[in-house]
Structure 1
Amino acid sequence: MTENTPTPPTGGNPPAAGPRRLVRSRDDRWVAGVCGGVAKYFGVDSNLVRLVVVIGTIIGFGSLLLAYLVAWVLMPEE
């Protein structure tokens, strides 16, 4: 006698967890967690994001620093 119970699928992709959100990181932060949150969102190293922000601030005469401050205010904390 066999039972007609469904078996769970093996392999494949797990179900999606929902849409990603751009939030400030609580764990990966130096100042406000903006770079850590951006790095987590895009799946890159947070130190690379920090380096880009510092170089962009120097080259852009502080305009990226202003963008960082705006992100600090507008991005929710995780």
Structure 2
Amino acid sequence: MNLIRPRRGRVIAGVCAAVANRFGISITLVRVLTVLSFLLPGPQIIAYIILWILIPSAKY
């Protein structure tokens, strides 16, 4: 599967849904891990925004 942000199932930008679909894991697990990582110091939010820009959105 390709890394594409789906039109359906998005919460904010669809980055977590794209990562979960690509690796075949639970979207909820990816979302929880993302939120937990935002609580730690580091560039996680910048990485999320970069992925939001770089991962193409589904056309359908």
TM over 0.5: yes
Deviations 1:7-30 (A, max 9, x none): xxxxxxxxxxxxx21011211110
Q: 1:41 to 1:63 in 2, by over 3 A?
A: same
Structure with higher RCO (Cα < 8 A, 6+ apart): 2
1:49 paired with 2:49, answer no
Aligned residue in 2 for 1:21: 2
Kindly name which structure, 1 or 2, has the bigger radius of gyration based on alpha carbons. 1
SS of residue in 1 equivalent to 2:39: helix
Q: Are positions 1:73 and 2:29 aligned together?
A: no
C-alpha separation in 2, matches of 1:67 and 1:25 = 19
Decide which structure has greater helix share: 2
| Root mean square deviation of aligned Cα | 1.1
**Structure 1 gap ranges (5+):** 1-19
User: Percent sequence identity over matched residues?
Assistant: 38
In structure 2, runs of 5+ residues without a counterpart are: none
CA distance in 1, matches of 2:56, 2:42: 23
